[in-house]
Chains A and B, each alone.
Chain A
Amino acid sequence: MLLGAFRADAQTVTGTVVDAETGESLIGVNIMLDGTNIGTATGMDGEYELNVPDLEGTLVFRYVGFVTQRVPVDGREEINVSLEPDVIYGDELIMVGYGIQQRSLVTGAISRIESRDIEQAAPLRLEQALQGRTAGVTVIQNSGQPGSAATVRIRGVGTTGDAEPLYVVDGMPVGGIDYLNPADIASIEVLKDASSTAIYGARGANGVVMITTQQGSPGPIQVNYTGYVGFQNPWKETDLLDAPDYMMIMNESYANDGRTIPFPDMEERVNEIGSGTDWQEEVFFYNAPVADHTLRLSGGNETSTYMASMSYRQQDGIVAEGKSNFERLSFRVNSNHQRGRLDYGTRLTYTQKTTRGIDPNEEFGGIMARTANIDPVTPVYNEEGEFASSPYASQEVVNPVASIDIINSEWNEDKFVGGVFGNFNFTDKLSLRSTLDIDLAYGNSRTFTPVYDLGGNVFNNTSSAIQEQNKWITWQTSHVLRYQDQIADHNFSVLGGFELLDHRNEYLGGAAFSLTMESFDNAWLSVGTDEENQTNWGGLGLESLASYFGRVNYDYDNKYLLEGVLRYDGSSKFGPDNRWGTFPAVSVGWVISREDFLRDNRYISYLKLRAGWGQNGSDNIGQFTYTPLITTHAGYGFGTTPSIVTGAYPSQIANPALRWETSEQTSLGMETAFLDHRLYVNFDVYNKETKGLLLAAPIPGFIGNAPPTVNGGTVRNRGLEIESGFRQIIGDWRVSLSLTGTFNNNEMVDIENEEGRLFGAGVSTSMDHVAMAMVGQPIAFFWGYETAGIFQSEDEIQNYVNDEGELVQPSASPGDLIFVDHNGDGQITDEDRIKIGNPYPDFTMGFNFDLDWRNWDLNMFWYGAFGQDIFTGGTRRHDLPMPNWKEDVLDRWTEENPSTTHPRVTIDDPNGNFTRPSDFFVEDGSFVRLRNISLGYTLPPRITSLAGASRLRLYVAAQNLLTFTGYSGHDPEIGAYGPLNVGIDRNIYPQARTITMGINLDF
């Protein structure tokens, strides 16, 4: 029997655990015999009883919010303990890649948030909990649509490819974390610098977010219920013109062009319709409900613990009632078991998710775009009670309420993520941990398009149904051998491992037309009748990754720290000769506060310096990019009775030399704590350069095929991060504050083609490449014309000439924008375009405030982002004659009102005021939000115990209660829709202001 050392002749230690400050007994304190898995938890009155093999060793008392205490047993059978409230920086353990470390000995830059922070943030998505609470992590909500993703950037944007960090849940890399129930999370660690991420080598370049789920602890069954219900509303309505102002501006526009005015009968109309239709009121879903319920059971004994939870969330969106919502049902079972030298466990989750959504940021046909553009003169319904169609609408700008009616699509996902791990301790010093994880997801989408004609060019003659099924299956197995030892004051540990990951994605879909039954419920492929047009598609994607890695940690007397990491990764995305990449990192630390001269300092309780250097890789490109794939496309036909033929051609020029993208980072950090750890301040500075960027830089069109993906660029991020906090207890008052701040500077250092630039997203029909990457500029900056005010007179136009006396803007009239001729050639062309804005903030900050008084608790969390710009050119269809305007048009230039901010209104627009992407369309997107505020009351135990409960807390909370911003659009948080498509407002689906009421109930 290998599993030997279990002894039956146990002894018992008992005692009580109390709060050192208040003397109150503490419930649920975790007590472990150090170095074993023997443990228990305190019960209702803070008492515990623990069976131990003998009365030796050390007991470790852990409790969230208190300092962990280690008490040698020394033969005692009764040990009573008073726990000090957490001093924030103690001997807590934090997760690092493939292991755990004592925080004070960590040499990398790692931010951590815990379940308590997550509970307070009550995030709809887990990424939101990171926003502002972790320095160096920029989180931008992509839209207010339920289930919508967030843009997460760790230490800036390091690539022109996919810049999302790697998410690792309980050791398993997963594609996204929206399947997780935030209430199941125990902690999130964000690994920011190369020394901490190098162990994830291949995929660590964008940073790593490590998520650990809740575990059970030994003791009687604990039942915990949390739930809330709430309602959501738009936090603001954009100031759009009402009918009288709209008609006035339209008449003026047409008159300015010498055309017939469209509303000669304006006054009669005003009498008839008053201020007209407020379309925002029509498309917003006021008091949209949200509800969330989580039930958790946990417990166990000395050898087995478990945690089981189930949760349900339902959320409606604030736009397009019934067509934009999110539903998630999830189950989780985590268990840990121990037998002798072997401990093992499982993590199993199942999630079912249903999402219905609208396009959240689309300038042509988006619901919010139609709302912002349609005229306020048209009513929602005509006299027959049908959706009215606007006589002034053209192209995609049609009745938005009618548009909501024709949207019918749904995404269903079933996801199972499960893993088993086993850890075998050969000796106290040597162990092997093996894991096998599976991530299996089925996603089904279904769309029904009815026959409709909404006016403009928005019509559809044939009903259709599209069905697609996706299966993603990823498995990973890793095997890690560890050795740790101590010789005098020399502590060291060595780790070596091996990992395989395999991912495949099968898809199958089809489209059917002319349905026999025209409704969403019946919109399945079999319902189609038009067999000629019925199409189907299907295929398979394959990716594999193999890795070897090792890590050495050494410290002398917990004072001088050294860590070295080496990872060797192979990815199937590269050709056979360039498959493998090596990613090293080293880091050092010096815990100065352990030196004699600081050891008993009255003020400084902790001081550590650390420095690290390392390299990471990225293989964020498509599969088989290194080889010249032959694409087939049927786009032509022959014959007097035509039949379709299929053509085949290489999809891009191949580059067999394609290699890993490498990110190299140097990081310096200082961690300090003062006044008995009541105050802490941490600083980090970093310089991160990504070299060999995987990109497809333009090549001359005459070469005749799409450019190859090459390792062709360098981007640099430099930044400073601050995390600080303060905590004080005064009588019944307990206050804690924390403040994080992040400065980041991003610059494209090199793009290896002859132009040194990459073209990004355009806006509307006339503004090409508003977003760009260019050497010397930040990634995805706004590229456009600089304006120098507005021509106030014909003289000014005549005086704006080039060297030869030719007019620079011959088509201009007074009231038009003056464009700066940067290259001085006397013409306004693309060559005059410069950087007119940066979509990423210079500085972000988070401020958290907790105040407890007796049974009351108050939490406030503010988040601010400063210095980012928003490009607004997509919020109005300037290419069309009669879309509505925002109210700032009322300050347009006229002869009577020589405005210097807004050009004259015109439909023909010969000067291109509204078709050239210029700084007229750039607004400061800085904002400060009261992201979260909550007020809770915990009922006294004597009352709750009557119901058999140990804790009952009631609270009210609000999200986005206050927003301070100068931005004129729906919402200043826009997010990234592609690496070179960031911060462009195309009428964003705004964030909701949510009020919730909830309870936390423990038995």
Chain B
Amino acid sequence: MKRVILIIPFIGLLLLSGCVDDFLSHDPPVERTQDNFFQTKADAEQALYSVYEVLTFHHGRENTGFHPFDLVSNILSDDAYGGGSGPGDQPELVEFNDHNVSVTNSKALGLWSDRYTGIYRANLLLENIDNVQFEDEQDRVVMAAEARFLRVLFYYDLVRFFGNIPLFERPLVAEDIRMEQADPGEVYKFLVAELLDIIPDLRDVVPPAEAGRASSWAAKSMLGRIYLYHRDYAQPVLGAGSLPVTEGDVLGHLEDVINNSPHGLLDDFSALWGVDGNNNNEAVFSVQHGAAALSSFGDWGFLNGSYGNWSSQMTGVRGVGFHPEYAAGWSFQPVTPDLVEAFDQDADTRYFLSILDPVEEGLNHRPDEMYQWQGFAFKKFYPRFPDSPSVNTPFNWPYNRPVVRFADVLLMAAELGSPNAQDYFDQVRMRAYGDDFVQIPPTRENIMEERRLEFAGEGQRYWDLLRMGLDTAAEKINAQAIQDIPINFRTERLGLLPIPQSEINLSDRTLVQNRGYD
């Protein structure tokens, strides 16, 4: 009997040890794993949406935060200063304005890593999309094309900001730290080839419920944008090689957008802005922030998780108190007097819609608390009190940011020498000046000046300045230097940001620093 008792625990022990591996094996209860993902159309959709979502990332992998594309571009240009509450408030944004960007600037790193996050997600989807079961093969074609379109946008931003970047079309793994930088010409060639390749795959008609997804018109318009930037900047400045497309083809695609797309110019410039202007007919492709109106998201530890337009929050002036129309913000990117003066304030209806003059509008504000404040703020995405998010305000301003809109297509076509150049140019200007319209010829100089006014605050100006040549860019940007705001755009840096130092270090020094920064 005693012996039996002795044996029982041992048998129990042995039995148990047989099941121990089962005991230690758990399937994640809440999350899927990469092994059981990428199976259904819904999986592929979610993967694609996660690529779109990166369009709203403005805070970097390290959550250091606050570098929306349009805001950074405005600050780099001659249209805006850095701003904030004081010199200690995001001094790295002020570095952009001074064109004295340190190689360790975390905003530059954020711009870099956010876009590579989008590229990773796009590459992961593209690598796996062939294994997904689709009922309608067309879905596979369209979704793959959209992922490639987004990848083009991310690479285009990267090559604009940094010039010399690693280029790859597969999801990297942790061992891939020694990626070499591609020749900028290769990157432009890739972007254009991709766009040409996906134009037939993308949809011509995007249903209203899916407004915001890339259409063939968006790809055609981006082709114009990238072509022009290559022609005027990458080729002469970076020595990039020629593209697999002719100027005539590009113009043909733009004319196609103008003549055959559902998009057109709105009659009223004011209808473009505010919540009601989201996904208006002129928006060929926009970053979608409108869903922020439905959101209560507000995690300071995961700023990239937000829906809203951070530029709005960062643009608002301080000390507003209660005002029926305007809300307060963090007073970044104060407008330069130079831009204000560029407008014909009496005739150009865009002035009142693009520039906020709080004194003129009787808006309470505290100039003393606003760093580098010159009396003016951008207004297109200005946070409006009636649109105030119910919770977590800074995270949830619901204004879409246009990436390319119809007016831009008209001006690009005019710039490329369309036979209808005068008409396209006039359309944009007639809307702006109304009864005060006076025709001027669509010369390059006139078009560039018009672009500055039409797109003021939309993050286009810096890139247009670079298209006008480094010397022009240097002259116009450095002319904004005033007492206590030193600005030193150095042509030897080619208008590029430094490759983030940590990227150079972590790549085992495979990446090479840009000219003028080493």
In the bound assembly, the distance between CA atoms of A639 and B212 in angstroms comes to: 7
Number of interface residues, chain A, beta carbon within 8 A? 104
Query: Which A residues between 614 and 671 are near B, CB-CB below 8 angstroms?
Result: 623-624, 627-633, 635-651, 653-655
Q: Pick from B21-29, B188-196, B407-415, B422-430 the stretch touching chain A.
A: B21-29
Enumerate chain A residues within 8 angstroms of B297, measured Cβ to Cβ.
Answer: 635
Contact yes or no, A768 B116, CB < 8 A: no
Enumerate chain A residues within 8 angstroms of B87, measured Cβ to Cβ.
Answer: 907-910, 912, 915
Does chain B have a CB within 8 A of A544? yes
Enumerate chain A residues within 8 angstroms of B1, measured Cβ to Cβ.
Answer: 2
Enumerate chain B residues within 8 angstroms of A502, measured Cβ to Cβ.
Answer: 23
Q: Which of A570, A703, A910 makes the CB contact (< 8 A) with B172?
A: A703
Does chain A have a CB within 8 A of B447? no
Query: Which B residues between 169 and 222 are near A, CB-CB below 8 angstroms?
Result: 171-174, 176-177, 179, 208-213
A699 with B174: in contact, given A647-B53, A650-B124, A755-B506 (CB under 8 Å)? yes
Contact yes or no, A394 B52, CB < 8 A: no
CB distance from B53 to the nearest CB of A (A): 4
Q: Please give me the residue from chain A that is nearest to B306 by CB atom.
A: A635
Q: Which of B49, B52, B85 makes the CB contact (< 8 A) with A395?
A: B85
Q: Which of A259, A479, A701 makes the CB contact (< 8 A) with B500?
A: A701
Q: Please give me the residue from chain A that is nearest to B372 by CB atom.
A: A908
A648 with B208: in contact, given A544-B24, A700-B506 (CB under 8 Å)? no
Q: Please give me the residue from chain A that is nearest to B113 by CB atom.
A: A701
Over the window 742-785 of chain A, the binary record of Cβ atoms lying under 8 Å from chain B Cβ atoms (1 yes, 0 no) is 00000000000111000100001110100000000000000000
Q: Pick from B5-13, B265-273, B338-346 the stretch touching chain A.
A: B5-13
Contact yes or no, A498 B49, CB < 8 A: no
Does chain A have a CB within 8 A of B285? no
Query: Which A residues between 534 and 548 are near B, CB-CB below 8 angstroms?
Result: 535, 539-546, 548
Contact yes or no, A881 B86, CB < 8 A: yes
Contact yes or no, B24 A766, CB < 8 A: no
Q: Which of A464, A479, A576, A909 makes the CB contact (< 8 A) with B13?
A: A479
A754 with B56: in contact, given A637-B290, A704-B121 (CB under 8 Å)? no
Contact yes or no, A533 B288, CB < 8 A: no
Contact yes or no, A648 B32, CB < 8 A: yes
Does chain B have a CB within 8 A of A530? yes
Most chain B CB within a 10 A radius of its CB, from A543, A700, A753: A700
Enumerate chain A residues within 8 angstroms of B13, measured Cβ to Cβ.
Answer: 479, 498
Does chain B have a CB within 8 A of A830? yes
CB distance from A823 to the nearest CB of B (A): 12
A915 with B85: in contact, given A540-B30, A653-B173 (CB under 8 Å)? no
Contact yes or no, A636 B53, CB < 8 A: yes
Q: Which of B33, B35, B52, B508 makes the CB contact (< 8 A) with A647?
A: B52
Does chain A have a CB within 8 A of B70? no
Most chain B CB within a 10 A radius of its CB, from A395, A644, A880: A644
Contact yes or no, B391 A461, CB < 8 A: yes
In the bound assembly, the distance between CA atoms of A630 and B45 in angstroms comes to: 14
In the bound assembly, the distance between CA atoms of A706 and B302 in angstroms comes to: 13
Does chain A have a CB within 8 A of B450? no
Contact yes or no, B171 A830, CB < 8 A: no
Q: Pick from B98-106, B253-261, B433-441, B458-466 the stretch touching chain A.
A: B98-106
Most chain A CB within a 10 A radius of its CB, from B87, B121, B307, B505: B87
A702 with B503: in contact, given A629-B32, A915-B88 (CB under 8 Å)? yes
Over the window 61-91 of chain B, the binary record of Cβ atoms lying under 8 Å from chain A Cβ atoms (1 yes, 0 no) is 1101000000000000000000001111111
Does chain B have a CB within 8 A of A280? no
Q: Please give me the residue from chain B that is nearest to A427 by CB atom.
A: B2
Q: Please give me the residue from chain A that is nearest to B313 by CB atom.
A: A457
Q: Which of A542, A698, A765 makes the CB contact (< 8 A) with B502?
A: A698
Q: Which of A462, A638, A651, A830 makes the CB contact (< 8 A) with B212?
A: A638
Enumerate chain B residues within 8 angstroms of A630, measured Cβ to Cβ.
Answer: 31-34, 37
Contact yes or no, A702 B56, CB < 8 A: no
Most chain B CB within a 10 A radius of its CB, from A394, A648, A654, A907: A648
A648 with B50: in contact, given A464-B391, A698-B506, A765-B88 (CB under 8 Å)? yes
Q: Please give me the residue from chain B that is nearest to A697 by CB atom.
A: B506
Contact yes or no, B61 A706, CB < 8 A: yes
In the bound assembly, the distance between CA atoms of A395 and B85 in angstroms comes to: 9
Q: Which of A633, A642, A653, A705 makes the CB contact (< 8 A) with B291?
A: A642
Contact yes or no, A638 B28, CB < 8 A: no
Does chain B have a CB within 8 A of A579? yes
In the bound assembly, the distance between CA atoms of A395 and B318 in angstroms comes to: 9
Q: Please give me the residue from chain A that is nearest to B26 by CB atom.
A: A542
Does chain A have a CB within 8 A of B247? no
Q: Which of B24, B46, B51 makes the CB contact (< 8 A) with A572?
A: B24
Query: Which B residues between 128 and 176 are near A, CB-CB below 8 angstroms?
Result: 165-166, 171-174, 176
Contact yes or no, A766 B88, CB < 8 A: yes
Enumerate chain B residues within 8 angstroms of A738, measured Cβ to Cβ.
Answer: none
Enumerate chain A residues within 8 angstroms of B318, measured Cβ to Cβ.
Answer: 394
Contact yes or no, B296 A881, CB < 8 A: no
Q: Which of A460, A633, A831 makes the CB contact (< 8 A) with B501?
A: A831
Does chain A have a CB within 8 A of B368? yes
In the bound assembly, the distance between CA atoms of A310 and B124 in angstroms comes to: 59
Enumerate chain A residues within 8 angstroms of B30, measured Cβ to Cβ.
Answer: 539-540
Enumerate chain B residues within 8 angstroms of A915, measured Cβ to Cβ.
Answer: 87-88, 91
A829 with B103: in contact, given A540-B29, A648-B50 (CB under 8 Å)? yes
Q: Please give me the residue from chain A that is nearest to B118 by CB atom.
A: A704
Does chain A have a CB within 8 A of B480? no
In the bound assembly, the distance between CA atoms of A907 and B112 in angstroms comes to: 32
A702 with B24: in contact, given A513-B391, A650-B124, A831-B104 (CB under 8 Å)? no
Over the window 680-712 of chain A, the binary record of Cβ atoms lying under 8 Å from chain B Cβ atoms (1 yes, 0 no) is 000000000000000000111111111110100
Enumerate chain A residues within 8 angstroms of B51, measured Cβ to Cβ.
Answer: 647
CB distance from B66 to the nearest CB of A (A): 9
Enumerate chain A residues within 8 angstroms of B61, measured Cβ to Cβ.
Answer: 701, 706
Contact yes or no, B102 A432, CB < 8 A: no
Contact yes or no, A703 B174, CB < 8 A: yes
Contact yes or no, B171 A704, CB < 8 A: yes
Q: Please give me the residue from chain B that is nearest to A765 by CB atom.
A: B89
CB distance from A916 to the nearest CB of B (A): 9
A639 with B209: in contact, given A434-B9, A632-B46, A830-B104 (CB under 8 Å)? yes
Enumerate chain A residues within 8 angstroms of B26, measured Cβ to Cβ.
Answer: 542-544, 572, 623-624
Q: Please give me the residue from chain A that is nearest to B213 by CB atom.
A: A638
Does chain A have a CB within 8 A of B514? no
Enumerate chain B residues within 8 angstroms of A909, measured Cβ to Cβ.
Answer: 86-88
In the bound assembly, the distance between CA atoms of A753 and B55 in angstroms comes to: 29
Over the window 565-576 of chain A, the binary record of Cβ atoms lying under 8 Å from chain B Cβ atoms (1 yes, 0 no) is 000001110001
Does chain B have a CB within 8 A of A964? no
Contact yes or no, A700 B177, CB < 8 A: yes
A513 with B296: in contact, given A500-B23, A704-B117 (CB under 8 Å)? yes
Does chain B have a CB within 8 A of A879? yes
Enumerate chain A residues within 8 angstroms of B103, measured Cβ to Cβ.
Answer: 829, 831
Does chain A have a CB within 8 A of B305? yes
Contact yes or no, B210 A638, CB < 8 A: yes
Contact yes or no, A830 B102, CB < 8 A: yes
Contact yes or no, A570 B290, CB < 8 A: no
Enumerate chain B residues within 8 angstroms of A576, measured Cβ to Cβ.
Answer: 21, 25
Contact yes or no, A708 B86, CB < 8 A: no
In the bound assembly, the distance between CA atoms of A434 and B8 in angstroms comes to: 13
Q: Which of B89, B109, B291 makes the CB contact (< 8 A) with A636?
A: B291
Contact yes or no, A765 B90, CB < 8 A: yes
Enumerate chain B residues within 8 angstroms of A633, measured Cβ to Cβ.
Answer: 50, 53, 305
CB distance from A920 to the nearest CB of B (A): 14
Contact yes or no, A702 B112, CB < 8 A: yes
The 3 closest A-B pairs by CB, nearest first: A637-B291, A704-B120, A647-B50
Given contacts A827-B102, A830-B104, 9 further A-B contacts (CB under 8 A): A533-B391, A571-B24, A636-B53, A638-B211, A648-B49, A701-B503, A764-B88, A830-B102, A880-B89
Q: Could you list some 12 contacts between A and B, CB below 8 A?
A: A426-B2, A498-B16, A532-B294, A627-B33, A642-B278, A648-B49, A698-B506, A702-B116, A702-B507, A765-B90, A831-B103, A881-B86
